[in-house]
């Protein structure tokens, strides 16, 4: 069974790789009508690093054949970077004497360590081919897109030209900008509206949960001490086997129907009351988003188009361009400038543990 599954994903990523070169930038973005912020461009590295996208996709393809689970880790890394002080690769920065990094915030403690390594490995390959001209922030954005595509999802254009941030956000700022899994739809819509996302954008971005894993502690409040009535009985019973106690450290798949394939089955899960988080299932319970969930469950192409639109928008949140920011030599550290360390505010306030919904 394991061999058959591995062969299937090998076929999936190879098929995706063969298809991608035939898609032009105009074909991948036509009809999306997403405005591009000043300083970014669809063809930013066309002359300076024409092999950029091939380098990234080729490396990820070879990795996903043996471990498709890393795709979800790279996609989540992009979400957690962009939602906190913009898509500036600040989530990649290690902490310093001036304070803990974004990685130490509770929602980021479950980010895959391998995802951070992959970004630096890609950076090294790109610098060897083109020199130090591509930012870590752009690499994160492209790696997320290819993770979606090589898992079976849509291929969309990524505007490029981001610079890497000089500082990381505080732990409290990180908590305030990443929706927790126990949030209801009103909270999610309100948080994302501040970043100019529509309800359709919000539901589409939540579809990223069609791949990946979750720790039990992110949803056991729906199981213990009493079961959430919006959760299907059989689904809850099976989750209790994986998570026998509220503080269990085990993990489970986010999408029980096709956990490693980027498709619309996440929304089918919600229709069947099999959403893992409160923030997932409540999208179907709430009348404001129920119709969007249903339409995506019925029409995968509609989901793919709206997911691409939302990802292009998200990838432009708070970007640094031009003379702002830098191109890091090491994605986990700011380029050396002086004896002073990262100019980040030291976290002084206590924080409550929370896990990110995205």
Please enumerate in sequence order all residues whose Cβ is within 8 A of that of 90, keeping only pairs 6 or more positions apart, or say none: 81, 84, 102, 165, 167, 168, 169
Closest of 113, 71, 5 to residue 208, by C-alpha: 71
Told to judge if 215 belongs to the known catalytic residues of this protein, a careful annotator would answer no
Rounded Cα–Cα distance for residues 272 and 208 (Å):
18
Q: One of 33, 80, 209, 215 is an active-site residue; which one?
A: 80
- Cα pseudo-dihedral 122, 266, 158, 202, rounded to 10: -130
Long-range contacts of residues 222-227, Cβ cutoff 8 Å, at least 24 apart: 222/277, 222/278
Closest of 303, 334, 323 to residue 93, by C-alpha: 334
Question: Is 263:302 a contact under the CB 8 Å cutoff?
Answer: no
Place of tokens 């929706």: 179
Could you tell me the CA-to-CA distances from 56 to 119, 134, 235, 266, 275 in Å, in that order?
A: 9, 12, 38, 27, 32
Question: Is 93:334 a contact under the CB 8 Å cutoff?
Answer: yes
Residues taking part in catalysis:
80
């Amino acid at each position: 069974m394991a061999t058959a599954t591995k062969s299937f994903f090998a076929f999936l990523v190879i098929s995706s790789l063969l298809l991608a070169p035939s898609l032009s930038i105009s074909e991948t973005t036509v009809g999306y009508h997403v405005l591009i912020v000043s300083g970014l461009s669809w063809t930013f590295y066309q002359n300076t690093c024409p092999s950029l996208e091939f380098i990234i996709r080729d490396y990820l393809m070879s990795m996903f054949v043996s471990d498709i689970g890393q795709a979800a880790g790279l996609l989540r890394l992009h979400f957690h970077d962009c939602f906190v002080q913009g898509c500036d690769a600040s989530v990649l920065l290690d902490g310093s004497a001036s304070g803990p990094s974004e990685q130490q915030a509770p929602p980021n403690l479950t980010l895959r360590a391998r995802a951070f390594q992959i970004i630096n490995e890609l950076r090294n390959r790109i610098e060897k081919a083109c020199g130090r001209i591509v930012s870590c922030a752009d690499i994160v954005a492209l790696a997320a897109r290819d993770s979606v595509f090589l898992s079976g999802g849509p291929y969309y254009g990524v505007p490029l030209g981001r610079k890497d941030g000089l500082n990381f956000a505080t732990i409290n700022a990180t908590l305030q900008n990443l929706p927790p899994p126990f949030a209801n739809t009103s909270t999610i819509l309100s948080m994302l509206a501040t970043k100019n996302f529509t309800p359709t954008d919000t539901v589409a971005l939540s579809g990223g949960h069609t791949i990946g894993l979750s720790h039990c502690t992110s949803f056991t409040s729906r199981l213990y001490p009493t079961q959430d009535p919006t959760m299907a009985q059989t689904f809850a019973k099976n989750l209790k086997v994986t998570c026998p106690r509220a503080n269990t450290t085990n993990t489970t798949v986010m999408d029980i129907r096709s956990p490693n394939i980027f498709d619309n089955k996440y929304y089918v899960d919600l229709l069947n009351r099999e959403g893992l988080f409160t923030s997932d299932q409540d999208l179907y319970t709430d009348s404001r988003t129920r119709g969007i969930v249903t339409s995506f469950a019925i029409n995968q192409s509609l989901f793919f188009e709206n997911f691409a639109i939302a990802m292009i928008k998200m990838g432009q949140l708070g970007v640094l361009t031009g003379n702002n920011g830098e191109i890091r030599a090491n994605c986990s550290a700011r380029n050396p400038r002086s004896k002073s360390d990262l100019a980040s505010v030291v976290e002084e306030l206590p924080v409550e543990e929370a896990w990110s919904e995205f």
